[in-house]
Amino acid sequence: MNGSAPQSKFSSCKGIFSAAVLGGLLVGGIPLEAFAFGFDDVAIKAEELAQQGYRAPETSLPDVLRELSNAEYAQIQYKRDRDVWSGNDAPFTLSFIHEGMHYDSAIQLNSIDQEGEVHGFAYNPDDYTYGDLNISDDVKHSDGLGIAGVKINYALNGDDPNEVMVFLGASYFRAVGRGQVYGLSGRGLAVDTGLPSGEEFPRFTEMWIVEPNPESQYLTIFALLDSPSVTGAYRFVLRPGEGTLVDVQSRLYLRRAVEKLGIAPLTSMYLYGPEQPSSTQHYIPAIHDSNGLLIDDAQNGWLWRPLSNPARLMMNRHATPQLRGYGLMQRGHNFSDYQDLDARYDLRPSAWIEPVNEWGAGSVELIQIPTNNEANDNIVSMWLADETHQPGAPLAFDYRITFTANESRHLDPQLAWVEETRRSRGEVIRDDLVREPDGTLAFVLDFVGPSLAGIGNDANMSVEASVGDNGELANTRVVHNPATGGWRVFVNVKRNNGNQPLDIRAKLMLDGNQVSETWYYRLPANG
């Protein structure tokens, strides 16, 4: 595998800690448990750590483990009969992940038992199977080897527990809902992503997982984050379901000023799809973990931005004076959209993030990186505050992530949305019914949604579209789509300079009023 505001956000955390002691409520209405060890203890550790100089993690991974391929590393598996809590009738169990490849830093894992006491987990090579790898006992017992990450198991798709969430590498994590497979990743924090100075990768150095009882419907995980620039305390509350919920509480402590502090970051992959067809002929019509960025801002409304695989790095921000939600989405869950029996991109979830406390004014940044294969996560999104962050009072960012394949539940039912974007050459149909190119580039957008129900093809529906300075709008057209009950929009453009990107926007209008989200596509340079 391979994240001037109101004063409340930057004020002292004493009130929050007091609520924890008194058994108040956390974000999303989740109760704060009265543990002997809890979020306030992690926050104290993070604050104290921020006052100290940064110490890089020690790495002493033997070459035979470091040089494993992905397929070889996947052979090292935790023995399921040794899953933590598997004999306690607990709904959640834990499996540990061995160090290997670039996962060369151990994390200290602990449990908090039913009495609130903390117990540490130790690395034991006998807990793992090694497939047909020729790894000697000396290597398995090397000094410094530890646990690289943790899998959380839950009986989501039947009677047997299966993976629903994993923490592995830096501050990365993934989760799935019912019937889904892993796709995009969340992160605790992103620091200076995309800057020429280079990105800094904060990592979770220690975690505490609360032992569930047989009736537990959620699992609580505390985590301590560390990096050269920032430390942090995190509380994750995992609620598996059709759409799996992860409530995140975070407090950040800066060691030094940070130019880009990316909150609630997401990382995904987009290789090609109907929005940007493959340059080579292939029976798989789309390969992506996500195909668009969705933003809901109280002042700017809903914006849908299809992703692309650019020829060179593309970075830009969308102002969000009052963010209500954002996410990297996988719109389209029909097998026919992908035809991939191995990767099953049709089963990969979207991740929708909703702030719980006040974040203030900021922007959502989208970074799109060129890639020539699906192994590289080339899409990054995050929220950035307008305010410059300086060391001092802790920063509080709380939010909920929903991993879902039912994206329409998080949309405004009063607005239509783009079900699919298709890119094509522009064409005209001659009198003899022969299609011939007209010299334009065409985008075909299918808008759907309950708000369009009952609107017949005689309605006064139109499209409002615009392009940036690097092109011109050749023509637009909107027609009723009886197959979907929605409306199909055609946007034809011409680009002036192919070496520069072109911004294109469109939205549905009924009797002069906007009735859809805004579709925004940035046509990549040389793409």
What are the residues facing 282 on neighbouring strands?
none
Largest CA distance in the chain: 81
- Residue range 262-284: average pLDDT? 96
| pLDDT, tens digit, 9 for 90 and up, residues 53-71 | 999 998 889 999 999 999 9
- Residue range 272-286: average pLDDT? 95
- Distance in angstroms (rounded) separating the CA atoms of residues 25 and 32: 6
pLDDT at 509: 97
| pLDDT, tens digit, 9 for 90 and up, residues 154-169 | 999 988 899 999 999 9
**Does the structural domain 7-407 have CATH classification 2.70.98.10?**
yes
- Distance in angstroms (rounded) separating the CA atoms of residues 442 and 424: 5
383 phi, psi to nearest 5 deg = -105, 135
| pLDDT, tens digit, 9 for 90 and up, residues 125-154 | 999 999 999 999 999 999 999 999 999 999
Residue 26: pLDDT over 50: no
pLDDT at 236: 98
pLDDT at 455: 93
- Residue range 482-495: average pLDDT? 96
- Residue range 431-443: average pLDDT? 90
In contact, 447 and 469? CB cutoff 8 Å: no
* 0.85 exceeded by pTM: yes
pLDDT at 23: 32
Full DSSP string of 299-364: TTEEEEEE----SS-EEEEEEETTEEEEEEE-----GGGT--TTT-GGGPPEEEEEE-S---SEEE
- Distance in angstroms (rounded) separating the CA atoms of residues 266 and 53: 28
| pLDDT, tens digit, 9 for 90 and up, residues 379-388 | 999 999 999 8
What is the rounded (10 degree) CA torsion for 157, 270, 373, 183?
A: -20
Residue spans of the domains in the chain: they are: 7-407, 417-523
Closest CA to 238 of 411, 93, 87, 423: 93
In contact, 417 and 433? CB cutoff 8 Å: no
Full DSSP string of 251-307: EEEESS-BS-EEEEEEEE-EEEBTTB--SS--S---EES--EEEEEETTTEEEEEE-
- Residue range 486-504: average pLDDT? 97
Say whether 417-523 and 7-407 share the same fold. Answer: no
pLDDT at 363: 98
Q: Which two tokens stand for residue 451?
A: 């708000």
Residue 213: pLDDT over 50: yes
- Distance in angstroms (rounded) separating the CA atoms of residues 326 and 368: 16
Residue 474 burial (10 A CB sphere; 0-12, 13-18, 19+):
middle
- CATH fit for domain 417-523, picks 2.60.40.10, 3.30.70.270, 1.10.3720.10, 2.60.120.260: 2.60.40.10
pLDDT at 58: 86
Residue 2: pLDDT over 90: no
Q: Is residue 22 very low, low, confident or very high in pLDDT (cuts 50, 70, 90)?
A: very low
Residue 340: pLDDT over 90: yes
| pLDDT, tens digit, 9 for 90 and up, residues 355-381 | 999 999 999 999 999 999 999 999 999
Residue 314: pLDDT over 70: yes
| Residue 517 DSSP symbol | P
pLDDT at 87: 86
Q: What sign does the CA torsion over 93, 95, 96, 102 have?
A: negative
Residue 29: pLDDT over 50: no
Percent residues over pLDDT 90 in the chain = 86
pLDDT at 25: 40
Least confident among 141-145, 171-175, 220-224? 141-145
SS (H, E, C) 447-507: EECHHHCCCCCCCCEEEEEEECCCEEEEEEEEEEECCCCEEEEEEEEEECCCCCCEEEEEE
Name the pairing type of β-strands 203-210 and 108-112: parallel
Q: Is residue 483 very low, low, confident or very high in pLDDT (cuts 50, 70, 90)?
A: very high
Residue 257: pLDDT over 90: yes
- Distance in angstroms (rounded) separating the CA atoms of residues 283 and 139: 43
How far from chain centre, in Å, is Cα 433?
46
Buried b (16+ CB within 10 A) or exposed e, 317-342: ebebeebebbbbbbbbbeeebbebee
In 3-state terms, the chain is what percent helix, strand and coil (to 5)? 10, 45, 45
Q: Is residue 266 very low, low, confident or very high in pLDDT (cuts 50, 70, 90)?
A: very high
pLDDT at 28: 42
In contact, 340 and 383? CB cutoff 8 Å: no
Q: Is residue 7 very low, low, confident or very high in pLDDT (cuts 50, 70, 90)?
A: very low
Residue 277: pLDDT over 60: yes
Residue 460 burial (10 A CB sphere; 0-12, 13-18, 19+):
exposed
- Residue range 419-436: average pLDDT? 90
| Residue 200 DSSP symbol | B
- Residue range 106-120: average pLDDT? 94
Full DSSP string of 117-168: -EEE----GGGEE-TT----HHHHT-TT--EEEEEEEE-SSSSS-EEEEEEE
pLDDT at 34: 54
207 phi, psi to nearest 5 deg = -135, 150
What are the residues facing 239 on neighbouring strands?
245
Residue 32: pLDDT over 80: no
pLDDT at 6: 30
Residue 208: pLDDT over 80: yes
Mean pLDDT taken over the chain: 92
